[in-house]
Structure 1
């Protein structure tokens, strides 16, 4: 058994033992595959982690940058109270349509609003629309623009907010300061910026599993 197979089996062990049977999430993954969406959703264990973090935070106002088929959106929205709201940004119209159906089938369309368009065009419109003071922000979008997304997240968050950035390890390539990969460059620029930004306290967690070798950056906006 190679290392990636072992990681996958361990992920499966934890998810099957620590998660209840979840036909809705199974149907979301199936719908995404049938619609030929790229298989880049968070894993079930990572989705459950997002749910737990939102629950621990007591999040009522969540922003997600990068919807895809709505898999992570549903995990996050499940943690919301009855009067909670999730705003999720998706650049691809077809992905947004699939996500809308998945979220509707999960019974969460009343808590979730999908805004379609390039995130860097949509983000400046949120505050004028009354969408700000987010208490949890999850960023899982194109990596070259990650520094811009994190700066917007800080601008739109309230003190004490949790900011989570996915896919930051890049299979270990994040330490290559000569990398020509624009995604690696974007993550490194974000890390450099966070290292000097006094308004947020951050760390990174490396992960392995069905998504391979990757990780999250997590930060808390200072009071």
Structure 2
């Protein structure tokens, strides 16, 4: 695997952001409920790591396009992405959001209530335990994974068990500014500074990629994204 440059110049990142904002000005309508959710999350001390507006809109469109009625989210934070997906569900739909932090869950519930998303339930517990306890009798149509990266392989296996045939699994932060494809990132002695303090997040994505290479139960692709959040991407997988 060839080494990839991961230190993107500031002017390139600014171009990504400007392009994303330009397209969003036409395609994403102002939504006070979503804006307030971000503001309330920031006021509550939550980190600014929610999905970008364009990815949130994509998740909503995805739910609408497949007629999703049951959605599972692993990693809720302040509920910003939860609101987007909730907007894509019918009134009788159901969204189960998993969050390990009670403080984050409190903010998420407040944001969901203000946004009028009443068919979402936030479950506070270690996601691995919650996922393992969920039955397969009533499968999910869509699973969105955006939690601790080290557990991605486990989360994906559980998501595959819980999603319906032809259901979709989205795993966020799958490119990580090119670090996943950069062999030098995990070499001892590297002096580069990255957003994530260890290479365990990169290693987890690489592990999942190796798993997917041999997995005949899904078809998957990585979709790279350059937006207001920088250069990253997500895994798009369909259960066969």
**What's the TM-score bracket when you normalise by the shorter of the two chains?**
over 0.9
Cα deviation digits, residues 159-218 of structure 1 (max 9, x gap): 010100000001101013462600000000111111111110000111111111100110
1:139 aligned to 2:145?
A: yes
Residue 81 of structure 1: SS of its match in structure 2? coil
Query: What corresponds to 2:194 in structure 1?
Result: none
Q: How does 1:1-223 map to 2 (within 5 A)?
A: 2-109=11-118, 111-127=119-135, 132-177=138-183, 179=186, 181-222=199-240
Superposed structure 1 runs of 4+ greater than 4 Å apart: none
Per the TM alignment, residue 66 of structure 1 is displaced from its structure 2 partner at its CA by 0.4
Give unmatched runs, 5+ long, in structure 2: 1-9, 187-197
- Return the alpha-carbon distance in structure 2 between the equivalents of residues 121 and 220 of structure 1: 24
Number of aligned pairs? 219
- Return the alpha-carbon distance in structure 2 between the equivalents of residues 177 and 5 of structure 1: 26
Max radius of gyration: which structure?
2
Residue 2 of structure 1: SS of its match in structure 2? helix
Please report the TM-score for the alignment, with normalisation by the length of structure 1: 0.95
Q: Which has the higher contact order (CA 8 A, sep 6+)?
A: 2
Give unmatched runs, 5+ long, in structure 1: none
Residue 208 of structure 1: SS of its match in structure 2? strand
Cα deviation digits, residues 37-92 of structure 1 (max 9, x gap): 01010011110000011111110010000000000001001111111100010011
